Structure 1
Amino acid sequence: MSMPYNFLRLNSLDIRVSTILPLIIWFIALLSLTSCTSGPNRVETLKHKKAIMESRQDKDRFFKTSPDSPLLNEQQWQFKELSYYPVDITYRVTAHYQRLVEPREFRIQTSTGHERVYVAIAQLDCTVSGKATTLFAYQEKGQDPRANNILFIPFMDRTNGLETYPGGRYLEVGEPTGDSVVLDFNLAYNPYCAYNYNFSCPIPPPENHINLEIKAGEKLFPLGQLQ
């Protein structure tokens, strides 16, 4: 299940990486288990879809029952499930991974108007829906060392504000040892501020705006309209 680990803060209180990191490790393991080949056969595709569906059910349970859920207490008892696009294997792509020789440090705006310092450490080049796409992977400056092998990929696309959260969505991948990495947009998730306005979430920078509709991953969560 994909959960943000140290990108979000509630009323200036950091969400501790020790609370969320086990979920991130599980998510990275899910991605690696379902990314063994670039051209999965039918059996592999079915296994991949099954793993994603199970991860979504796990995330629903986390939102419903965990004391670390981003939902308010009164929301949790009403909550049933998050909304997703159907799993679409065409949104699972292999990207060329190029670590930046000189990582770029800069400030990313958050949903509450504050700034956070991030470091762009790698360029990811891939083809999505037949279109060449470039994204950049980041890590937050001063983040917990246990998360140093996890790459944060915030992105915007043309579904934002229509079918998905207006403030963009996130991907996370384990840093590869080679020159390629699998990006599975079926695992794209909303920042916590999509569920609770008290959170402060990084807004994807312009260099990670995709001029396509990415109809994969998590969809819009209507605040005040729980299912």
Structure 2
Amino acid sequence: MKKSNYILLIAVGLVVITAVAYMFTAAESPESYVEKIEKERERQFKFIRFNIESPLTEEQKRGFTKLTFYDINPAYKVKARLLPIENKKVREVPLTDGSKQRYIEHSFAEFELGGRTNKLLLLQAMDETDKRNFFLAFADATSAGETYGGGRYLNVRQDGKNSITLDFNLAFNPYCAYNPDYACPIPPKENLLEIALEAGEKNYKE
């Protein structure tokens, strides 16, 4: 199996976990919210450290002790307006190895953060069976500094008729941040943000 396909495998798992864990976040206490984010980060660490499908080599695993994250900040969990694209097209998204992966350009998520209105393109896998699930690849002012230069990912799920929640505390690195042998989707030009999203996973350093 091509290594880029592993991205889709972990994406499916993350979507399911996120959907179940955060369905009722709006009614949660701040303490419960922080606890759930911490549990997800622990799950992510264990996957990278121990799972057979981890992008780390066996040599990397031996010296791997933690993932690095920004402090959990509820301000980076935002409710975005869902702006559907009327004439949906197939986008060939470039991967880091020069190949391409096909996604559907589904909609835009528009939200207020960093003192401005931001808009991100939501992509949908060609074989996605649940049409409420989307893939979001983005880069921001922290990219190539505190966070991975190739951008970060979110797997998001529509949770309202015309809205969707984007929780950047859950932003995670693509596999190629850990191992350049993997091929990862590059964020589309629409998703290069000027603001700094100081939330989620930081850059991996051996």
> Do they fold alike, i.e. is TM over 0.5?
yes
1:129 to 92, 114, 134: 114
Q: Using the alignment, how far apart are the partners of 2:50 and 2:74 within structure 1? A: 30
Change (3 A) 1:216 1:9: farther
Asked whether 1:15 is paired with 2:6, we answer: yes
**In 1, are the aligned partners of 2:11 and 2:155 still within 8 Å (CA)?**
no
Q: Which residue of 1 aligns with 2:64?
A: 79
Unaligned runs of 5+ in 1: 1-7, 38-42
Alignment of 1:52-67 (within 5 A): 52-67=37-52
SS at match of 1:32: coil
Q: Is 1:28 equivalent to 2:19 in the alignment?
A: yes
Give the corresponding residue for 1:70. Answer: 55
Structure 1 pair 16–166 and aligned structure 2 pair: CA distance change class (3 A): closer
2-structure distance, mates of 1:59, 1:33:
21
Residue-by-residue CA offset, 1:154-209 (whole Å, 9 max, x unaligned)? 11101110100000011111133411111111111111110111110010011111
Distance in 1 (alpha carbons) for counterparts of 2:11 and 2:152: 18
The code of the aligned residue for 1:173 comes to V
Q: Does 1:101 align with 2:86?
A: yes
Equivalent runs, 1:128-147 vs 2, <5 Å: 128-141=113-126, 143-145=127-129
1:125·1:135 contact (CA, 8 Å) conserved in 2? yes
Count of residues in Structure 1 that have an aligned counterpart in Structure 2: 206
Distance 1:18 1:56 in 2: 18
What TM-score do you get using the length of structure 1 for normalisation?
Answer: 0.83
Q: What secondary structure, in the 3-state scheme, does the structure 2 residue paired with 1:24 have?
A: helix
Q: Is the 8 A contact 2:175 2:184 kept in 1?
A: yes
Tell me if structure 2 keeps the 8 A contact 1:17–1:144: no
Q: Deviations over 1:84-132 (max 9, x none)?
A: 0000111111100122222122221111111222211011110012210
Other-structure match for 2:199: 216
2:73 pairs with one of 88, 94, 104 = 88
Deviation, 1:139, is 1.2
Report if aligned partners of 2:95, 2:183 keep a CA contact under 8 Å in 1.
yes
Q: Following TM superposition, by how much is the alpha carbon of 1:79 offset from its aligned partner in structure 2, in angstroms?
A: 1.2
Measured at CA, do residues 9 and 85 of structure 1 come closer, stay the same or move farther in structure 2, by a change above 3 Å? Answer: farther
> SS at 2:34's partner residue?
helix
CA 1:90–1:9: 2 relative to 1, 3 Å:
farther
- Of residues 176, 190, 197, the one that matches 1:207 is 190
2:108 & 2:146 partners in 1: Cα distance?
27
For the 8 Å contact 1:9–1:201, the answer to whether it is kept is no
**Given the two structures, how large is their TM-score scaled by the length of structure 2?**
0.91
Unaligned runs of at least 5 residues, structure 2 = none
Aligned partners of 2:42 and 2:90: how far apart in 1? 37
- Report whether the alignment pairs 1:195 with 2:178: yes
Secondary structure (helix, strand or coil) at the match of 1:200 reads coil
Output the aligned Cα RMSD.
2.1
Q: Aligned in 2, Cα 1:46/1:62: closer, same or farther, shift over 3 Å?
A: same
Q: Which amino acid aligns with 1:183?
A: L
Shift in Å, 1:9: 4.2
